[in-house]
């Protein structure tokens, strides 16, 4: 697809910057190139015709160099729907460029494989998504990568300690290349100070001569409620399956950041084949148009649900960002998060038996993994999403048998509260 920035990549009107929710309706797409269709069609094509042999030669040269718009070649490299989705996602993230992947894990694994080499080290926060933890602990050591984890929390001492320990482990010849944070953490909503992590990266650069890249898994708050790149992060990572996709009908992931870093990731994505498909990219375009509406509605609902659970005698604790306590924690939430979001966890009084009785009694809320959909979803992380970590590690990071995670959707909040109430009455 040929792009003319003057026509359909226009981001201002009369000197005024247009808002992302406005640009989601048109940015990156010219209807006149598709018979006047108001929405981009699904370009269900594996390959694209070159106008000349010289075009083909130049497109492949540009693609090999990681260029964003080499001209259409083959849908493993680029596709009109994929490119438009990437353009629009970058707007939400205040990023120079974005890449869309076939899943969140494809985005995370491609990023780590791009920036880590044998002998390198990385530190990461825990808890973190179970698939990410498995990739770090099981797969990366096979490639000679070292790692250290630290517990999420508002105190950055654990993060600094992990960096010191890893430095001793890798020795003089190794370097810390990556700091990976998931904040808020899945499923406990534990926070990590992104600015403090960026400062740590600068301090590490003073001793090893090269700054580690700061990668943030921003899935829990999405591009609306947290802006990691503004806080000093180099790359924001997502499972687009969640809030951005938002309808529980697609699997996708993304990475957003500086154009130079995205350019380095692009050839790795090409080689691994983890690009977003045309139909999936088209669904993402559909969802981006209502992202703000959906996330605002679900966040408002979540506040009401969290307040109800906090006051319930059969709930021991609610891990909701809006209930931050202490001056330092409140300050971090205020400076780092634009909202408490709509996914949080809570502890029932008792253990697994009580949690299971409660979950099995729900009638409106859906018992399923994932989050960020229009419907409210609920699950038991210790026995599902984080079961691979083992009981001891789960307990250490706060994923206990009493903990339940809920992702509040856009239903009537009074109906959700009624469902929670009748289910809690049975434990």
Regarding whether 314 and 227 lie in a shared domain, the answer is no
313 and 416 fall within a common domain = yes
The residue-averaged pLDDT of 47-51 equals 94
| 3 band by pLDDT with thresholds 50, 70 and 90 | very low
pLDDT digits (tens, 9 = 90+) for 320-356: 999 998 899 999 999 999 999 999 999 999 999 999 9
DSSP code, position 365: S
Of 180, 207, 240, the domain-final residue:
240
**Which tens digit of pLDDT belongs to each residue from 271-319?**
999 999 999 999 999 999 999 999 999 999 999 999 999 999 999 999 9
Which CATH number do you get for residue 307? 3.90.1150.10
Residues 295 and 408 both lie in one domain: yes
Looking at residue 390, what is its pLDDT? 83
pLDDT tens digit sequence for 207-228? 999 999 999 999 999 999 999 9
Domain that holds residue 200: 104-240
Could you tell me if residue 215 is inside a domain? yes
147 and 210 inside one domain: yes
Look at residues 240, 266, 283 and tell me which one is the last residue of a structural domain: 240
DSSP 210-255: SPPEEEEE-TTTHHHH--GGGGT-SEEEEETTTTTT-SS----EEE
256 occurs within a structural domain: no
Please give the mean pLDDT across all residues of the chain.
Answer: 94
Q: Structurally, how many domains does the chain consist of?
A: 2
pLDDT per residue as tens digits for the range 120-133:
999 999 999 989 99
Q: How far apart are the first and last CA of the chain?
A: 58
This prediction's pTM: 0.93
Picking from 240, 255, 271, the residue at the C-terminal end of a domain is 240
Q: Provide mean pLDDT across the span 147-155.
A: 93
Residues 89 and 287: beta-carbon distance below 8 Å: no
Could you give the angle at which helices 104-115 and 259-272 cross, rounded to 10 degrees? 110
Q: How many helices (H) and strands (E) does the chain have?
A: 16, 14
């Amino acid at each position: 697809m040929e792009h003319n920035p003057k026509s359909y990549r226009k981001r201002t009107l009369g000197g005024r910057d247009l808002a992302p929710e406005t640009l989601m309706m048109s940015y990156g797409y010219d209807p006149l190139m598709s018979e006047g269709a108001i929405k981009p069609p699904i370009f269900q094509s594996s390959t694209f015709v070159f106008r000349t042999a010289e075009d083909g030669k130049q497109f492949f040269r540009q693609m090999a160099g990681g260029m964003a718009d080499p001209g259409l070649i083959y849908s493993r490299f680029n596709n009109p729907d994929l490119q438009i989705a990437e353009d629009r996602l970058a707007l939400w993230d205040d990023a120079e460029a974005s890449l869309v992947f076939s899943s969140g894990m494809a985005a995370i694994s491609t990023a780590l494989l791009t920036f880590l080499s044998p002998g390198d080290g990385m530190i990461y926060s825990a808890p973190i998504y179970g698939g990410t933890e498995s990739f770090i602990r099981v797969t990366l050591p096979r490639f000679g990568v070292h790692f250290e984890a630290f517990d999420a929390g508002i105190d950055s001492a654990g993060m600094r300690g992990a960096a010191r320990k890893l430095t001793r482990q890798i020795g003089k010849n190794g370097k810390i290349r990556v700091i990976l944070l998931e904040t808020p953490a899945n499923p406990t909503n534990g926070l990590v100070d992104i600015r403090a992590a960026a400062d740590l990266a600068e301090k590490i650069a003073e001793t090893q001569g090269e700054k580690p890249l700061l990668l943030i898994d921003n899935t829990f708050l999405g591009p609306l409620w947290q802006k990691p790149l503004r806080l000093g992060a180099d790359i924001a990572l997502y499972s687009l399956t969640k809030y951005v996709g938002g309808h529980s009908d697609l699997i996708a992931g993304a990475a957003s950041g500086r154009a130079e870093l995205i350019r380095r990731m692009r050839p790795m994505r090409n080689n691994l084949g983890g690009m977003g498909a045309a139909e999936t990219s088209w669904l993402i375009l559909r969802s981006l148009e209502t992202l703000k509406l959906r996330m605002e509605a679900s966040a408002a609902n979540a506040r009401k649900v969290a307040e109800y659970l906090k006051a319930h005698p059969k709930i021991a604790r609610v891990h909701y960002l809006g209930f931050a306590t202490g001056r330092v924690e409140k300050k971090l939430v205020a400076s780092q998060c634009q909202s408490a979001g709509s996914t949080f966890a809570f502890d029932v009084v008792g253990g697994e038996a009580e949690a299971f009785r409660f979950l099995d009694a729900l009638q409106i809320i859906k018992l399923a993994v994932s989050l960020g959909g229009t419907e409210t979803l609920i699950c038991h992380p210790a026995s599902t999403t984080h079961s691979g970590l083992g009981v001891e590690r789960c307990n250490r990071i706060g994923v206990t048998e009493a903990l339940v995670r809920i992702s509040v959707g856009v239903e009537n909040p009074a109906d959700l509260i009624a469902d929670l109430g009748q289910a809690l009455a049975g434990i």
